[in-house]
Structure 1
Amino acid sequence: MDIKAEEFLHKLQNKLPLPQATQVYVVFGEDDYYRSQITAALPGYIYGDTDEADRQITVFEKDTDISAVSEAVNTYPFFSGQSLVVLKDDKLWSKGGEEARQTVLDKLTALVNDVPEYCTLLISAPKLDKRTKFYKALKKAALLCECASLRPYELQPWLDAQAELYGARFEHDAIGMIMEYLAPVEKVPLQLLQQEIAKLAVYAGERRQWTRQDILDIFAALPEASDFALTNFIMEGRLKAALEALASARRHGTYVLPLTAMVSAKLRQLARYFELQRSGYDQRSLMQELGVRHPYAMKMLTQQARRFDERRVREALLAVDQLNIDLRQGGRDFARLEEILIRLLA
């Protein structure tokens, strides 16, 4: 049986009944956030108030021998009457040739089909081949949870749930700002985002309404988000803030090429917006042509475009593209990008 990651984690954390009675749980997929959260929550769900010293938990995460896993699964726990075996060796699914992998899968198939009642087996893997006999065995014997990575436009329910943990809520513009920061990425770094939300909760203190300015204050200081902050400051016409973000990136040792690439992409989007608007495109057509997936992002782009002169945008775009070409020669890379921003925003 399948279960969604958010639902699985919620049931574990709140000690709620799971939809299938089984001794085998499987969490798989590229998203490390949910896999690690579920793995951390499972012992509390299984053992309840049992003292940690009496919990029999065996974890396999490196150089795993399937025979040792089988022994752990089949060894009766003397103290709590329950044992937990966690198999999260990522290399287990890829080491050796095809024959070696098949041998491992065959042994695991036999194992998951015969887990004793006193044992819970958790399998955590970055990827499982759904065509294999092993996966088909899991479909019958296990509760399966696929932890797919979130895209930025899918993020709002997750953000709302995170804020609720602190008794707070994001204002609409604050969520929009986070989506703007993450728009260039394919997969949302939930682990990093959760850490920044924890910092935001401390920063806001007793205040339970989290604003767009809060996001700017917290997220813009992140080395990982400084390039996203830079493009947002540019689009808002905030020269001083853009130069400070650029200086911060330089201090953190960020290579200038990814920054110029992002600035170029944003200016190109802006230039394309002007072109399409002159051609009479409506908002839906603009979103489709520009690759904008969230209405709030389109609203922000429309507002931001009003701050710019199309001729200066195209001049800045040409200058940034020339800087990208010249970067292989070294020299005044950050200084030239600063000069381009000053001409654009001053």
Structure 2
Amino acid sequence: MIATITGENQYARSRALHAAIQSFVEAEGDLALERLDGEDAEFVRIQEALTSLPFLANKKMVVLSSPSKNKTFVEQFEGLLQQVPDTTDLVLYEPKFDKRSSLYKFLKKSSDFQEFSDLDLPALTRWLVAEAENFGATLEQPEARFLIERVGQNQQLLASEVEKLSLVGGQISRQQITELTEATPQSSIFQLLDAALAGRAKQALQMYDEQRAMKVEPQQIIGMFAWQLHIMALLKTAGDRPADQVARQAKISPYVAGKTASLVRNMTLGRLVQILDELLDIDRRSKREALDLDDALRLFILDLGQ
């Protein structure tokens, strides 16, 4: 058997690999498992592992990570894979294929192919609700979305947080999420921008002060503002194209794109360009003069609501 595990969703990808290995080891034992890294292993070593018969076992499993990083493997994969005996389960674990490559096209057609994409907000919310249920707790969709907005869309982090929240037992509330989890800086910056653009200046400035109290430096905040404004510009210039389509083309998270779409819905492109210019001016001035960045960024936040 030849299986391929790939895709940009690192959490789902690693879970699939873990499940495949666990199932095999339970049946054949861990001595029948061999792991190789395509970036480091010599092709001769890969060839020997894939074509040799198992030792003191009925079957063996070979996990080859990053096969596309091995130039010789990429050149000779088709002939080599035809030599893999039925007694070997081969798992090709590749974070990101070049989808134009012959290797990708061959494996998609000729192997047990699993490709894991990042989840959009509705799918991520459903997954989080189910994950809480697996831990014996109840998480409603509004609270699941609140948790995502608070800590971000990293599934590994979300799984860890919902496991921690489930220890309390029963239904997970918004208050528990606020008390037991820590908001990520990027998530807070989105909320800060949302408040500032809606004219809630006091709330936005309070969020800025909270970031500074957590030792997030002004230059880091400028970088996070720039990243968020870049996403906003991509969505604004995309016209009527759906956010998930823009996300695929720009190679950004569909969750981030969907969430950011609400910020630009009622904003003109001219206003967005003006905001970007103001932030760029602050960044440039900070590099050539003694500028109080805290004051400059607070004024910038106040101007966002004008």
User: What's the RMSD between the two structures over aligned residues?
Assistant: 4.4
- 1:279 aligns with none
- 2:22 aligns with 44
Q: 1:69-218 to 2 correspondence within 5 Å?
A: 69-89=46-66, 92-93=67-68, 101=71, 104-129=73-98, 133-139=102-108, 141-178=110-147, 180=149, 189=153, 192-203=154-165, 205-217=167-179
**Structure-2 separation of matches of 1:320 and 1:329:** 14
**Structure-1 separation of matches of 2:48 and 2:294:** 59
- Report if aligned partners of 1:220, 1:245 keep a CA contact under 8 Å in 2: no
Would the alpha carbon gap of residues 136 and 202 (structure 1) be closer, same or farther in structure 2, given more than 3 Å must change?
Answer: closer
Q: Match of 2:96, SS?
A: coil
Q: Match of 1:81, SS?
A: coil
Once the two structures are TM-superposed, the CA of residue 26 in structure 1 deviates from its matched residue by 0.5
1:258 aligns with 2:223: yes
Q: 1:311-326 to 2 correspondence within 5 Å?
A: 322-326=278-282
- 2:2 aligns with 24
* 1:210-250 Cα deviation digits (max 9, x unpaired): 23344444555334533234346656763575144331464
- Matched residue count: 277
Would the alpha carbon gap of residues 81 and 222 (structure 1) be closer, same or farther in structure 2, given more than 3 Å must change?
Answer: same
Once the two structures are TM-superposed, the CA of residue 325 in structure 1 deviates from its matched residue by 1.9
* 1:187-217 Cα deviation digits (max 9, x unpaired): x85xx33224423432453233223344444
- TM-score normalised to the size of structure 2? 0.68
**Structure-1 separation of matches of 2:194 and 2:176:** 14
- Report if aligned partners of 1:323, 1:336 keep a CA contact under 8 Å in 2: no
**Percent identity at matched positions?**
21
Q: Match of 2:157, SS?
A: helix
* 1:77-108 Cα deviation digits (max 9, x unpaired): 2233221111113xx5256xxxxx4x533421
**Structure-2 separation of matches of 1:134 and 1:159:** 34
Q: Which runs of 5+ in 1 are unaligned?
A: 1-22, 96-100, 183-187, 273-287, 306-314
Pick the aligned partner of 2:45 from 60, 68, 91.
Answer: 68
- TM-score normalised to the size of structure 1? 0.62
Q: Which runs of 5+ in 2 are unaligned?
A: 245-253
**Structure-2 separation of matches of 1:215 and 1:61:** 41
